[in-house]
């Protein structure tokens, strides 16, 4: 179910009506393109409660509600600005207008309770600010239970980043699948899972607020779409167990830690239809075997570009500025024993203005280049094919990797793991680098010949290396651990809450698309 989530409209005095009308005409255009299944309006539709409600405002609100309802069924709760919530009669400005419109596609919830969304498998769980006394009666159902609430949640932020005490804590919504909120004008997610959020206001309401306003679009899957078995141990599943599961399930979500080799495919009974890999790389999967069994394989490109590019910059800085050595010096307690010689103590190499050579100028490589330009770095690259001028964005192309290497102060690998890219950094290519060069790898361990790189680091043929990936990981070559000029990470390039969630959702969406006869988002085979 797709939900267009808007709130905090705050229709107000005549002086701003034209501004509001223009803003909402744009909102309607966007909403029509997005094709939501339902529209949810989370309160504070008017600004002035029951006072200052002009005939023009009533007319505009009627137009506004009808336009919303023409796009999709529109579900409404009220906010504190919409009426006198502490009045015994609970009077408000919105109910009479909606009643007068008499539009069957508009649903108003003034009382707390559980209501159908109109979409099978989904329920509204309304916590009305006009009916707080009945909040305790609102419980999640067996369906996807979506809590609707207008009010301040503890820890939420205003546009000027004031943290609010709130009427309820974030864990108030833990029992529910989602929490769609109104009242705070700043768009924000309140939990790591991104299931509880304020959509923000639709238009700037006060000075100090961001001018860029809008809405949230929720795309929520029904619990009834799939029967799901989770790997709760969070460990790689042995091949024999994977085969048994593959013969019982239609789809499989895998990670790079799952070894789906030729052996896996030999004893399949035809039940498995799709493997959705969480990650860009898929060298853990025997693609030829999958193709021979007519099993689709997908991956998750694009959603991790920024995270991996950030890690690339982290490694560039850490390796060149000797951050690993510095960190160990402080943690070991030996910093105080060092001679305060400012000409020698922990002197590293500057990054600003240096030349970064990129091997593999795909999406991640281009994002890394974009980040590096913030340091004034010059970008050069080697790629199978030259990019168009707009994608190059000023970078210099080298058709031959050997000709690029001598010009690199830093060289960063961003290629997939293929037979062609295996050991693309080897004795020959590494020896072409200047002695001050730094090698960075956030792609796959197989792109580097360990013996060649370790020899170069041990014998100071290059300055340093920053590595997030390794051959045979997590059992990396122990020699790396003995090198002060090698900064290492445990394959965490995409390890942010936001990125891992996006990767997981894309994998699930690929499976959803396959079984609903829709084009796959990222088909490998």
Alpha helices in 72-107 (DSSP H): 94-101
Predicted pLDDT at 211: 55
**pLDDT exceeds 90 at position 33:** no
Distance CA 121, CA 225 (A): 9
Residue in 81, 90, 95 with CA at minimum distance from that of residue 45: 81
Indicate if the alpha-carbon torsion angle 54, 56, 62, 64 is positive or negative. Answer: negative
Please state which of the four CATH numbers 1.20.1250.20, 3.60.21.10, 3.30.360.10, 3.40.50.300 is assigned to the domain occupying 2-219.
Answer: 3.60.21.10
∠ CA 146-188-4 to the nearest 5 degrees? 50
Q: Which CATH superfamily is domain 305-488 in?
A: NAD(P)-binding Rossmann-like Domain (3.40.50.720)
The stretch 396-410 carries a mean pLDDT of 98
| 334-338 own/partner pairs: CB under 8 Å, 24+ apart | none
Distances 336 to 232, 323, 327, 330, 332 between C-alpha atoms, Å: 46, 17, 13, 9, 10
* Mean pLDDT taken over the chain: 91
Give the chain's count of helices (H) and strands (E): 14, 21
User: How does residue 498 score in pLDDT terms, banded at 50, 70 and 90?
Assistant: confident
Domain residues of the chain, as ranges? Answer: 2-219, 239-302+497-515, 305-488
Kindly state the helix (H) or strand (E) to which residue 342 belongs, with its residue range. Answer: none
What angle do the packed helices 55-71 and 17-34 form, to 10 degrees? Answer: 10
Matching CATH topology for 2-219 and 239-302+497-515?
Answer: no
What pLDDT, in 10s, does the model give residues 57-116?
A: 889 889 999 999 999 999 999 999 988 776 666 678 899 999 999 999 999 999 999 999
Distance CA 172, CA 519 (A): 38
Predicted pLDDT at 224: 63
Assigned CATH class of 239-302+497-515: alpha beta
What pLDDT, in 10s, does the model give residues 443-476?
A: 999 999 999 999 999 999 999 999 999 999 999 9
Distance CA 272, CA 276 (A): 11
| 93-99 own/partner pairs: CB under 8 Å, 24+ apart | 93/45, 93/46, 93/48, 93/49, 93/50, 93/53, 94/45, 94/46, 94/61, 97/58, 97/61, 97/62, 97/65, 98/65
What pLDDT, in 10s, does the model give residues 283-298?
A: 999 999 999 999 999 9
The stretch 124-137 carries a mean pLDDT of 95
The stretch 370-375 carries a mean pLDDT of 97
Predicted pLDDT at 49: 62
Residues recognised as catalytic = 444, 473, 491
Alpha helices in 160-295 (DSSP H): 239-246, 262-266, 287-292
**pLDDT exceeds 60 at position 51:** no
């Amino acid at each position: 179910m797709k939900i267009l989530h808007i709130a905090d409209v705050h229709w107000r005095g005549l002086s701003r009506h034209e501004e509001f009308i223009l803003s909402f005409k744009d909102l309607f255009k966007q909403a029509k393109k997005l094709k939501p299944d339902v529209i949810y309006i989370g309160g504070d539709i008017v600004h002035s409660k029951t006072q200052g409600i002009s005939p023009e405002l009533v007319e505009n609100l009627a137009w506004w509600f009808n336009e919303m309802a023409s796009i999709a069924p529109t579900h409404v709760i009220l906010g504190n600005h919409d009426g006198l919530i502490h009045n015994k009669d609970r009077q408000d400005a919105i109910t009479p207008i909606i009643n007068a419109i008499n539009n069957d596609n508009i649903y108003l919830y003034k009382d707390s309770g559980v209501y159908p969304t109109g979409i099978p498998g989904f329920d509204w769980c309304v916590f009305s600010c006009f009916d707080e006394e009945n909040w305790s009666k609102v419980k999640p159902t067996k369906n996807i239970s979506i809590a609707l609430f207008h009010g301040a949640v503890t820890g939420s932020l205003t546009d000027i980043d004031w943290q609010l005490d709130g009427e309820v804590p974030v864990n108030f919504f833990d029992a529910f699948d989602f929490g769609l909120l109104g009242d705070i004008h700043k768009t924000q997610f309140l939990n790591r899972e991104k299931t509880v959020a304020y959509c923000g206001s639709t238009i700037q309401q006060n000075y100090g607020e961001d001018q860029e306003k809008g809405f949230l679009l929720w795309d929520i899957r029904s619990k009834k779409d799939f029967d799901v078995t989770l790997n709760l141990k969070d460990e790689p599943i042995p091949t024999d167990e994977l085969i048994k599961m593959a013969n019982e399930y239609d789809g499989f979500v895998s990670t790079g830690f799952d070894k789906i080799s030729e052996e896996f495919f030999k004893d399949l009974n035809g039940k498995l239809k799709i493997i959705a890999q969480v990650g860009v790389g898929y060298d853990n999967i025997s693609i030829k075997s999958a193709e021979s069994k007519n099993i689709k394989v997908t991956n998750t490109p694009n959603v991790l570009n920024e995270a991996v590019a950030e890690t690339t910059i982290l490694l560039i800085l850490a390796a060149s500025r000797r951050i690993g050595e510095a960190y160990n010096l402080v943690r070991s307690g030996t910093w105080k024993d060092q001679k305060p010689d400012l000409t020698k103590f922990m002197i590293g190499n500057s990054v600003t203005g240096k030349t970064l050579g990129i091997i593999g100028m795909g999406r991640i490589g281009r994002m890394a280049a974009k980040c590096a330009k913030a340091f004034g770095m010059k970008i050069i690259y080697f790629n199978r094919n030259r990019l168009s001028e707009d994608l190059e964005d000023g970078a210099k192309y080298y058709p031959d990797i050997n000709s690029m290497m001598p010009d690199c102060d830093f060289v960063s690998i961003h290629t997939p793991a293929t037979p062609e890219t295996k050991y693309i950094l080897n004795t020959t290519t590494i020896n072409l680098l200047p002695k001050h060069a730094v090698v960075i790898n956030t792609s796959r361990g197989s792109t580097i010949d360990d013996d060649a790189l370790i020899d170069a680091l041990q014998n100071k043929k290059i300055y340093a290396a920053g590595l997030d990936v390794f051959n045979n990981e997590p059992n990396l070559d122990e020699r790396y651990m003995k090198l002060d000029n090698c900064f290492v990470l445990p394959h965490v390039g995409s390890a942010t809450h936001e990125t891992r969630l996006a990767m997981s959702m894309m994998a699930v969406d690929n499976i959803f698309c396959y079984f609903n006869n829709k084009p796959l988002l990222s088909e490998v085979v």
